[in-house]
Chains A and B, each alone.
Chain A
Amino acid sequence: MKDKKSILSSIILSSVLTIAVIVFLTIFAELNIGFKGWLAQTFSHHWIGKSIISTLVFLVLIPIFYVLRLGKISTTTLIWLLVVVANLSFGILLAFFFFETFF
């Protein structure tokens, strides 16, 4: 039971950090043309690069968080954290592209 909770906690926390990484990759690529070019050159398209990197980050973080034994953190707290980060991230990206376009 405790093991299941640790796996679940690591999956939820990995989702939280992966979404944060997607936001970081997106904004960093817009501000740093060299990085966006590298993504496009390496993965054939910058969006494919972000998709692959975020999937890898997600898959690598799960066992790391599992080893760290995060079962002590309440599942409910982690789920709400994911909800907050997902909504904030949507807002941050929308606001970023708005400012990038008009200012």
Chain B
Amino acid sequence: MNEVNIFFLVAHIFLGTLGIILLTAYLLSIFKKEIDFKWLKINSFLALVSFVASWITGGYYYTNYYGKSVKPVILKGEFAWVHSILTETKEHVFLFLPFLTFAIFAITFFAHSDIGEDKKLTLSIAGLCFTTVSTALAIMLLGIAISGAVGK
């Protein structure tokens, strides 16, 4: 793998992890007694930027390197199903994340005065945040499983 592909792969992992950390912090913040709305807005914006950047960098790695060099190795090995189930699911579910995060950003931007005050709304935002974080974590775990299947 050349240096450009390594850079894009590392950036993809780093930015995705950053998005998970930011949204986890967001999830914990909305249950505080005194919510810092300025921080919530910055947090949700940075999470959106992280996931969009992870989408672009991951897309570059996936279309330029994975398909040509990693996929054939996995398909020749014992765990070909790892590509046909896990990679296929991962690459398409990843497309959900920017839209889920954009929704969180928009809710924070347009309904911030109700967060904390309106308990039902706060709980639904927590549900959305939890879904986004758990989806991103599942994608990360699938990535680890895919890496483990290379050359087996």
User: Does residue B81 face the partner (Cβ distance < 8 Å to A)?
Assistant: yes
A98 to B100, CA, bound (A): 25
User: Does residue B6 face the partner (Cβ distance < 8 Å to A)?
Assistant: no
Contact flag A97-B88 (CB < 8 Å), given A79-B128, A86-B100, A90-B138: yes
Whether A50 and B95, one on each chain, are in contact in the complex, defined by CB atoms closer than 8 angstroms, is: yes
Smallest CB gap from A17: residue in B:
B99
Q: Cβ of B67: which chain A residues have Cβ within 8 Å of it?
A: 45
Classify the interface of chain A: helix, strand, loop or mixed: helix
Q: Chain B's nearest CB lies how many Å from the CB of A75?
A: 6
Whether A82 and B128, one on each chain, are in contact in the complex, defined by CB atoms closer than 8 angstroms, is: yes
Q: Chain B's nearest CB lies how many Å from the CB of A39?
A: 12
Contact flag A97-B89 (CB < 8 Å), given A8-B110, A47-B62: yes
Whether A98 and B85, one on each chain, are in contact in the complex, defined by CB atoms closer than 8 angstroms, is: yes
Smallest CB gap from B122: residue in A:
A76
Whether A76 and B100, one on each chain, are in contact in the complex, defined by CB atoms closer than 8 angstroms, is: no
Most A-side CB within 10 Å, residue of B103, B107, B124 = B103
Whether B111 and A47, one on each chain, are in contact in the complex, defined by CB atoms closer than 8 angstroms, is: no
> When A and B form their complex, which 4 residue pairs have the shortest distance between CB atoms, in order from nearest?
A79-B124, A8-B110, A11-B106, A15-B99
Q: A12-B103, A83-B124 are in contact. List 13 more A-B contacts (CB 8 A).
A: A4-B111, A12-B106, A15-B100, A47-B62, A47-B63, A54-B95, A75-B107, A80-B124, A80-B127, A82-B128, A87-B131, A93-B89, A101-B84
